[in-house]
Structure 1
């Protein structure tokens, strides 16, 4: 059987090369994909997470939620036991010390981590139309649902980076597996939708897009933190990449596309972005919804401040061209520069002193508590 490569792959190579130029420079020599790697990229658009897909096919949704909550007990249905058996055999490369260090480093980054994830990684991901159609069809990242989805993602991120969150049975593991199965449910629904354009998009939630999204939380995350002046040591960078590689494995990303190191992650992310399609109407709608998110919790002058801050830090992290692609107004990068100045003092200065990391972590927890309070959510 001939497998058709979705036409979104490499749809506009000139745009892809321009959008991925910065990643190309950071990836270093040998960044271009080999012939075998190009074949894998094309094939990835037509591959799903088969482990989770098998579970979804085997059980009605009403039973699935209850079975997942109960866990892999002896009286669980066979499809549930098979799923948990597949995800409980941790790969030999998983190192608990590295997981712990990576989690603590993520927490220490504090408010800068939140800025980067929202206005660097997530907003930057909207610049390409690659993986956006499923998001729009579920309605979870437009209109009033935007803030709710960001809050849910923030709670999941805190569970993953909590002490012991990725230990067997930890809250981060449980929530990640829940997200994985929810992705499989959405995938099954969209695959059954006769309006889904297979020739253009391939499998709705596919391995290519899942691996690219993993790069947003790992590779892109660290690059943007450094742009804000945050000190990320080589050891911390290695630990953060290790943590997100394990999260990717739990999420069902193929082993061949787990980043493991920053250099490998940059190379992989360059391959994805340089072959992604340019932005479309979904890109603009999602970007505007993200910028309007603060309207749901901020009022008056605070609302104006939060919007201008978001536009300014986006301009610093993504550049004028990205904002133009997303249909967003450009602002001078005053807030990004202010974060650089603050981090020269706190991250590079106070953070290196005896007890500095503990103080950074305590400060970050205060910032997280304040943000969740503004959202009206109790911090777990």
Structure 2
């Protein structure tokens, strides 16, 4: 924790005190400490990569991820990957695999949760600064969504999160993306330490908790409540992904209740929306989906000015509306949101069929539901993979 920075930021200090009135001190302390902590293991590896020849670090990473022992690899890379490729005893690959299947039980719940989590990152006037200072999130809003969606698909493919799997590989590489952006922000001379560390561990935990909690909330909202055993499998999925991503143990979602409290504390402590919130959100609403690309390429330039904002506002605005209605449920019951009402009727019918065994196994359901997002991305001719660490930084 950096108490001198908290003292300089009167607004944050007041927000911390309000959080202490509603949540346990130890939860608030963990969240505040995480504002000034980063993923030191990956930062050390990226610093070592910078001393190598162009592209050499990424070659060594690729070799190491394939289980080889590349000559010339810095010790920091071995130190980083060893605990990931030799998991702790709490890691249960079967539960993680089942958690991925269950997370994909109903694609609309996942897609709304994914959208809500990305929008949440923009909603805080300090947490949004890495995105605001890297123009990929503004000028390339659609591409960033596509890259994030490709990572989500890779990371949540049942069985792909063990060493050698595509989800494992993609998640480790996204961890490098965060480190590359963080290194750039520290060098650029424009980072304000009152924002905390760039891409700090509290922000990382908030994102993991969002991917865990929001889809579960949507399943419940659609009357598709999972059993306690099923919820535990989904929790283990995101606990493991968070571990691979570099979230420290004290901020990992050890229980649903703790993940909820950490998210609530972060929501109360992080800065309120600002001008960058409006800029980033507007970029998503205007151009967050390259809908014109479902048409033949000669029509893209002609139809993009109409189709892209229309479809982006429908999808992103709709998702944001559902999430906001849920968060503001005291004023309006969320199940009466028009989209929720329609999706709930579909979900209830599907649950009836699933319980009767007419939708197949959890694996078969997950495969079909994943195709909803994959099919949409492919129809828009979206990028085929998450962003490569070497392409992560596009300064404004």
Q: TM-score, normalised by structure 2?
A: 0.80
Q: Give the alignment of 1:82-93 within 5 angstroms.
A: 82-93=79-90
Look up the match of 2:4: 4
How far residue 146 of structure 1 moved from its aligned partner, in angstroms, is: 1.2
Please list every run of 5 or more consecutive structure 2 residues that lacks an aligned counterpart in the other structure.
293-302, 329-335, 386-396
Say if 1:108 and 1:357, in contact at 8 Å, map to a contact too: no
Does 2:51 match 1:55?
no
Q: Deviations over 1:87-138 (max 9, x none)?
A: 32312111111111111112332233112211x2222332222311001212
Asked if residue 106 in structure 1 is aligned to residue 83 in structure 2, the reply is: no
Paired residues of 1:159 and 1:171 also in contact (CA < 8 A): yes
* Counterpart selection for 1:375 from 370, 380, 386: 380
Cα distance change of structure 1 residues 74 and 196 upon mapping to structure 2, 3 Å threshold: closer
CA contact (8 A) 1:312 1:333 kept: no
Answer with 275-284 or 61-70: which moved more: 61-70
Confirm whether residue 337 of structure 1 aligns to residue 341 of structure 2.
yes
Q: 1:150 to 1:235 in 2, by over 3 A?
A: same
The residue that corresponds to 2:272 in the other structure is 278
Q: C-alpha deviations, 1:155-202, integer Å up to 9, x for none?
A: 11111111321112211111111111121121112112222111x112
2:149 is aligned, of 150, 154, 161, to 154
**In structure 1, what is the Cα distance between the partners aligned to 2:79 and 2:165?**
19
Give the TM-score taking structure 1 as reference length. Answer: 0.83
After superposition, residues 1-380 of structure 1 pair within 5 angstroms as 4-6=4-6, 7=9, 10=12, 13=15, 32-34=23-25, 36-60=26-50, 62-71=55-64, 72-79=68-75, 80-118=77-115, 120-143=116-139, 145-198=140-193, 200-294=194-288, 296-298=290-292, 304=310, 307-319=313-325, 333-346=337-350, 348-358=351-361, 360-377=365-382
Q: CA deviation at 1:294?
A: 4.9
CA 1:14–1:90 in structure 2 vs 1: closer, same or farther (change >3 Å)?
A: closer
* Residues 131, 16 of structure 1: alpha-carbon distance in 2 compared, 3 angstrom cutoff: farther
DSSP 3-state at the match of 2:283:
helix
The equivalent residue for 1:326 is none
